[in-house]
Amino acid sequence: MYQGHQARKRFGQNFLVSPGVIRKIIDAVAPRPGDTVVEIGPGLGALTEPLLERLDHLHVVEIDRDLIACLRERFPAERLTIHEGDALEFDFGALKSDGPLKIVGNLPYNISSPLLFHLAEYADLVSEMHFMLQKEVVDRMVAAPGGDYGRLSVMLQYRYSMERLFIVPPGSFNPAPKVDSAVVRMIPRKVGAGETALDETLFARLVQAAFSQRRKMLRNTLKEFGGESLLEAQGIAPTARAETLAVADFVRLANVLAAQTQTK
């Protein structure tokens, strides 16, 4: 029990209780009065309250009805707009007329990857995002080619510049998770000409296939896309593995394929 609320595992509820960590997150977000900020999963308000101290108004997206009832009691509706429901289905585009969005959250870890992919669809509307996630996930997000580098790294680094800001130990939460967490800053990249995937669905499919079996050579995982001949034509060794390719290499391969389908 924490503040009279039984934490629900299915909603990934680990409430922040460390004033030092809360302060560091708010300082990193650096909210200013006119900003349009959306908090995902406000829970018992550990971040909501200090955010509202610096903002005129805040949007939150929360799925747990009991927590929503607490938030309604605690914060006036003209300062806190509560969007009741699943953040995975929330249309962040509905807030675009309010200006560029700053999105913040100590995210439910059980849905972190699908949520990051959902948010990527709105990257054009966002100025920056700050999230608490499992440290292991943040390490994969920011990884350079090699060890932790994978589909999540490529797909997110294509859209964002990302920085791991600091590590947060389990004792900063109630209940304490089993693993370390970390706070990441994500800023949508201004992608230059030649760096944009012409067909983003094709780019995503290619990246997924390349990492489908990490240990396998690209000539095998990318067979359906032309395998060896595609790779050789782009000066990439067919025996290479996905984890050695830069984000720009995946974009280049996807764009060659996109151009081929267009001329067919």
List residues binding ligand SAM (CB under 6 A): 11-16, 40-44, 46-47, 61-64, 67, 86-88, 106, 108, 111
CB 171 to ligand SAM: min, Å? 14
Q: Which is nearer to ligand SAM, 9 or 214 (CB)?
A: 9
Q: Which is nearer to ligand SAM, 18 or 220 (CB)?
A: 18
Residue nearest ligand SAM, Cβ-based? 41
The Cα 243–Cα 145 span in angstroms is: 5
**Please, what is the angle between helix 247-263 and helix 151-159, to 10°?**
80
The Cα 151–Cα 207 span in angstroms is: 6
Q: Which is nearer to ligand SAM, 69 or 191 (CB)?
A: 69
Q: Which is nearer to ligand SAM, 47 or 186 (CB)?
A: 47
Q: Which is nearer to ligand SAM, 48 or 221 (CB)?
A: 48
The Cα 57–Cα 119 span in angstroms is: 21
Distances (CA, A) of 231 to 132, 168, 241, 245: 37, 41, 11, 11
Q: Are strands 80-84 and 58-62 parallel, antiparallel or unpaired?
A: parallel
CB 179 to ligand SAM: min, Å? 13
> Is 245 in contact with 210 (CB distance < 8 Å)?
yes
CB 39 to ligand SAM: min, Å? 7
The Cα 124–Cα 49 span in angstroms is: 28
CB 44 to ligand SAM: min, Å? 6
CB 7 to ligand SAM: min, Å? 8
